[in-house]
Structure 1
Amino acid sequence: MTNARITIDRDFTIGEVPRRLFGSFVEHMGRCVYTGIYEPGHPAADARGFRTDVLELVREMGPTVVRYPGGNFVSGYRWEDGVGPAADRPVRMDGAWHTIETNAFGLHEFVDWAREAEVEVMEAINLGTRGVEEARSLVEYANHPSGTYWSDLRRRNGAADPFGIKLWCLGNELDGPWQIGHKTAHEYGRLAQETAKAMKLVDPSIELVAVGSSNRGMPTFGTWEHTVLTHAYDEVDYISMHAYYREADGDAASFLAEGVEMDAFIDGVIATIDAVKAAGKHTKQVDISFDEWNVWDFDRFNNEEEAAVAAAGWREHPRLIEDTYTVTDAVVVGTFLHSLLRHGDRVKIANQAQLVNVIAPIRSEEDGPAWRQASFWPFARMSRMARGQIMRLAVSSSKGATKQYGDVDEVDAVATWDEQSGRLALFVANRSLTSDATVDLDLHGLRATGVRSAEVLTIPDSGDRHSANTLDAQDAVGLRKLDGVALDDGAVRLTLPALSWSAIEFDVARG
């Protein structure tokens, strides 16, 4: 039996929940845009071609900000191709994903879609094949009211009011040799600095994200961030992080503990930011935008799918990395959200990659239905329930052995307290593959007066940890009521099934 004690003290907090932490990502890759969020002629499409069935699921999932249009795609993208009359837009070759881009969907369409989805736009610019002039022109086009060349062109293209985009990414993964326009840290750092200056001359209110390492395993990790920020610290507001994780060789225990690696990755980037801040005697604080993260079987893509796509030739929106997410994957996704939230004092933005079809919590079929993957549920519950202050937890847990990370806590948790509503939200994972967990919740300065909701995502009755939602079984995996919640005169005990992620909301009073 797994045992754990979680101590929560009213006076020990990390900071306010950053709402942008619950972000997502739409890239012109595979079927994320075309037949994902946009499919004219589909029975559920509106007059603009937006799939309303997908929109409904997006609103239910609750992302607050969506990064667009890439990703690797953006490093070869001409934003001007995606504005103006659709019939006049050029068809281009996209070298990033070896596909044909029709440009039927562009900036105006995405801004309109984002308004329908009730999300903030996070726009990425091309610093692979383009530079300062194109970036400042795009800011002028998007955000300047009128009276200049680019702002008046936006108005002629049907948008009288500015888009008001505040969040901008200064390129994508330019440390990676696979990236179109790959650069050294010095080359990118200087380009990012000058581009940021030019963009803020057009609109001083914007916030800018510099490109960090593509993953922690990059040979330049650490030195890249240090060099880039040494150049651009005063001009940028965030530096990015990207990370994807997978179950390797059936090692489920290590896979379930990957949140430990994410914690270490974040801590390393924070240390580098603060070192540059101290060395440069800067007064402002640069924070983190973890703008790509997820579970992704990238070995399968690199070894099989990428070669198959290239062999098939140049096509429009082929199927790419449409991974099916299992219960195990969903529990891991839950622990990644824990990691991001407990670093919410420094990780201010995060984007799960991607939103629809491409390694996504939402799937859709051309001329067919849309449905929730298992990984939909932790995001949907945390984006809705995490409010107020992030609590600084003390967790004492039984340990589980892993090949990659040694002995790791089998119970992983994070919590938020919203004093205004009187609600305490606890999100907790039991990483053990075989043992239920008994968890005692020790509250100081707060007293639980009731259980508002208690749900768990775990292995279904079939007993298969690889169970997943598919086109033919769209509700095989989902949340169900967590019965193992005992509340006795303010004392709280939880019984959590093996391999599970739970979301429990308590009514609490000061005491």
Structure 2
Amino acid sequence: MSHARITLDRDFTIGEVPRRIFGSFVEHMGRCVYTGIYEPGHPSADEEGFRTDVLELVKEMGPTVIRYPGGNFVSGYNWEDGVGPVEQRPRRLDGAWHTVESNAFGLHEFVRWSKKAGTEIMEAINLGTRGVDAARELVEYANHPGGTYLSDLRKQHGTAEPFDIRLWCLGNELDGPWQIGHKTADEYGRLAQEAGKAMRFVDPDLELVAVGSSSSAMPTFGSWEHTVLSHAYDEVDYISMHAYYQEEDGDAQSFLATSLDTDYFIESVVATADAVRAKRKAKKFINISFDEWNVWYQRGLDTDDQPHKVSKGWREYPRLIEDEYNVTDAVVVGTLLNSLLRHGDRVTIANQAQLVNVIAPIRSEENGPAWRQTSFWPFARMSELARGQILRVAVDSDKVATKKFGDADLVDVSATWDEEHGRVALFLANRGLDDAADVEVVLRGLGASGVRRAEVLDIPKGGDRFTTNTEQSQPVGLRPLDGVGIDEGVLKLTLPALSWAVVELDVSTV
């Protein structure tokens, strides 16, 4: 049996839980939009063509903010193509994913869908093939009350009131050679500076996200952030991060420890942003928008999953990167969420990519059902319960050896204290493949009077770590975690091998 001892103290907090870290992402890619959130003619479709079965799962999952419309897609996208009468919208080739875009779903449809889903909008602009003019015009169309050509055009298109979109991404992954309109850091930094300035001339209260590195493995990582912020520091509020992880060559232990790379990535970007701040003698801090993250099994470049390498003909909404997530993947997703939460003083926005079908926690079939993937559960519970203050966690855990990251804590944890509702929530993962872990949690200044809820996701009976949820069967989910108790201020529990758990406690301050 493995062991871990965790200490929480009411007086040692990181800051308020930034609710925007429980964000998601809808891109015009594969079947995320078409037959995902939007499918007129589906048995569950409402009067606007939105799949209500998917909407109900989205509400259950609880994303707070959704990034739209891309992604690689946005770097070749004309926003004007997605507004106005649907029958008059142009069909376009999308070079990013080698598909045909009908534009049947656009900005107005997404705003209406977001209201039904109860989510904030994070709008991305095209700084690949377009620039300052298109950026400021989109802000005017979306946010200006009326009395100008573009704001009145929005009204003619059926929406009298402004969309009031506050959060904007200044492009996407422009550090990457795969991106339409790929740029150097100096080229992008100047463009972001001028686009942001022009957008704020139209609406001064915007929050702007500059493009950061597409991964910590990029050859320009570090220098990209420094150069971009040296140009655009005054105009932006956030710098973005993207990261995807997968199990490689059967190395499950390294895969289960990938949140250590997330920790390193976040802390490096924060250090770079703060170095620019010091050099400029600026007062404000630049925070992190981790606006793409997930498990993604990136296959060879000669498959249909990769941009620019698709050999088949041009198609509408083909199946692209519809990964089926297993138990191991769900535990990793839980640890990545833990990393984001532990860095919630600086990572104040995050978006799991993507919401439906495309490397997604929710799957759907055309004219068929929708269901929860294994990765749905850690996100849903953390979005529900992570409120109030982020508690600092002191962890003394047995270690697990990994090839990529050296020794990692066997038990990974994050925790929050919601004083208003008298609740402490703990989110724990056991990275061990074979052994259960006995865990003690010392609660200082937090008088725990009982366990409200204790649930665990682990290998289902008769399954293994590769068990997935499918259209026909969903064996992986949360079940009650037995044997959880409190003894003289110490919470005691046992985590099964390869598991993710949530424990919710009734507490008072003492």
TM-score (normalised: structure 2): 0.99
1:381 corresponds in structure 2 to 381
Work out whether residues 173 and 213 of structure 1, in 8 Å CA contact, stay in contact via their aligned partners in 2: yes
Cα distance in structure 2, aligned partners of 1:95 and 1:305: 13
1:506 corresponds in structure 2 to 505
1:394 corresponds in structure 2 to 394
Cα distance in structure 1, aligned partners of 2:401 and 2:309: 39
1:459 corresponds in structure 2 to 459
SS of the residue corresponding to residue 427 of structure 2 reads strand
2:475 corresponds in structure 1 to 476
1:157 is matched by which residue type in structure 2? Answer: H
Displacement of 1:301 in angstroms is 6.2
SS of the residue corresponding to residue 352 of structure 2 reads strand
Cα distance in structure 2, aligned partners of 1:43 and 1:60: 20
1:242 corresponds in structure 2 to 242
2:424 is aligned with 1:424: yes
2:186 is aligned with 1:186: yes
SS of the residue corresponding to residue 299 of structure 2 reads helix
1:2 is matched by which residue type in structure 2? Answer: S
Where do residues 80-479 of structure 1 align in structure 2 (5 Å cutoff)?
80-300=80-300, 303=303, 305-306=305-306, 310-473=310-473, 475-479=474-478
Cα distance in structure 2, aligned partners of 1:243 and 1:502: 24
SS of the residue corresponding to residue 15 of structure 2 reads strand
Displacement of 1:383 in angstroms is 0.1
1:355 is matched by which residue type in structure 2? Answer: L
Work out whether residues 154 and 160 of structure 2, in 8 Å CA contact, stay in contact via their aligned partners in 1: yes
Work out whether residues 303 and 310 of structure 2, in 8 Å CA contact, stay in contact via their aligned partners in 1: no
Displacement of 1:307 in angstroms is 8.6
Cα distance in structure 1, aligned partners of 2:354 and 2:301: 15
| Residues 340, 195 of structure 1: alpha-carbon distance in 2 compared, 3 angstrom cutoff | same
SS of the residue corresponding to residue 318 of structure 2 reads coil
Cα distance in structure 2, aligned partners of 1:231 and 1:29: 31
Q: Which moved more, 1:114-123 or 1:298-307?
A: 298-307
Spell out, residue by residue over 1:257-313, the C-alpha distance to the aligned partner (whole angstroms, 9 max, x if none).
001110000000000000000001111111000000000001356656449972221
Cα distance in structure 2, aligned partners of 1:311 and 1:227: 37
Work out whether residues 225 and 272 of structure 2, in 8 Å CA contact, stay in contact via their aligned partners in 1: yes
| Residues 194, 225 of structure 1: alpha-carbon distance in 2 compared, 3 angstrom cutoff | same
2:490 is aligned with 1:491: yes
1:62 corresponds in structure 2 to 62
SS of the residue corresponding to residue 239 of structure 1 reads strand
Cα distance in structure 1, aligned partners of 2:154 and 2:248: 48
SS of the residue corresponding to residue 470 of structure 1 reads coil
SS of the residue corresponding to residue 401 of structure 1 reads strand
Work out whether residues 302 and 309 of structure 2, in 8 Å CA contact, stay in contact via their aligned partners in 1: no
- What is the count of residue pairs matched by the alignment? 510
Point out where structure 1 has 5 or more consecutive residues left out of the alignment. none
Cα distance in structure 1, aligned partners of 2:441 and 2:365: 43
Displacement of 1:489 in angstroms is 3.6
SS of the residue corresponding to residue 121 of structure 2 reads strand
2:475 is matched by which residue type in structure 1? Answer: A
SS of the residue corresponding to residue 227 of structure 1 reads helix
1:50 corresponds in structure 2 to 50
Q: Which moved more, 1:70-79 or 1:305-314?
A: 305-314
2:365 is matched by which residue type in structure 1? Answer: E
2:123 is matched by which residue type in structure 1? Answer: E
2:319 is matched by which residue type in structure 1? Answer: R
Spell out, residue by residue over 1:156-183, the C-alpha distance to the aligned partner (whole angstroms, 9 max, x if none).
0000000000000000000000000000
| Residues 240, 308 of structure 1: alpha-carbon distance in 2 compared, 3 angstrom cutoff | closer
Cα distance in structure 2, aligned partners of 1:232 and 1:247: 36
Work out whether residues 144 and 151 of structure 2, in 8 Å CA contact, stay in contact via their aligned partners in 1: yes
Work out whether residues 95 and 308 of structure 2, in 8 Å CA contact, stay in contact via their aligned partners in 1: no
Work out whether residues 99 and 317 of structure 1, in 8 Å CA contact, stay in contact via their aligned partners in 2: yes
1:477 is matched by which residue type in structure 2? Answer: V
1:28 corresponds in structure 2 to 28
2:5 corresponds in structure 1 to 5
Displacement of 1:463 in angstroms is 3.9
SS of the residue corresponding to residue 448 of structure 1 reads strand
Cα distance in structure 2, aligned partners of 1:75 and 1:449: 53
Cα distance in structure 1, aligned partners of 2:127 and 2:308: 29
SS of the residue corresponding to residue 424 of structure 1 reads strand
Cα distance in structure 2, aligned partners of 1:386 and 1:304: 38
Work out whether residues 296 and 359 of structure 1, in 8 Å CA contact, stay in contact via their aligned partners in 2: yes
Point out where structure 2 has 5 or more consecutive residues left out of the alignment. none
Displacement of 1:462 in angstroms is 1.5
Q: Which moved more, 1:455-464 or 1:108-117?
A: 455-464
Q: RMSD of the TM alignment (CA)?
A: 1.1
2:279 is matched by which residue type in structure 1? Answer: A
Work out whether residues 448 and 506 of structure 1, in 8 Å CA contact, stay in contact via their aligned partners in 2: yes
TM-score (normalised: structure 1): 0.99
2:479 is matched by which residue type in structure 1? Answer: R
Displacement of 1:491 in angstroms is 2.3
Cα distance in structure 1, aligned partners of 2:413 and 2:143: 41
Displacement of 1:471 in angstroms is 1.0
Work out whether residues 67 and 121 of structure 1, in 8 Å CA contact, stay in contact via their aligned partners in 2: yes
SS of the residue corresponding to residue 229 of structure 2 reads helix
Runs of 4+ in 1 over 4 A off after TM superposition: 300-304
Q: Percent identity?
A: 71
Cα distance in structure 2, aligned partners of 1:115 and 1:195: 27
Work out whether residues 131 and 191 of structure 1, in 8 Å CA contact, stay in contact via their aligned partners in 2: yes
Work out whether residues 98 and 308 of structure 2, in 8 Å CA contact, stay in contact via their aligned partners in 1: no
Work out whether residues 301 and 321 of structure 1, in 8 Å CA contact, stay in contact via their aligned partners in 2: no
Cα distance in structure 1, aligned partners of 2:301 and 2:394: 39
Work out whether residues 484 and 496 of structure 1, in 8 Å CA contact, stay in contact via their aligned partners in 2: no
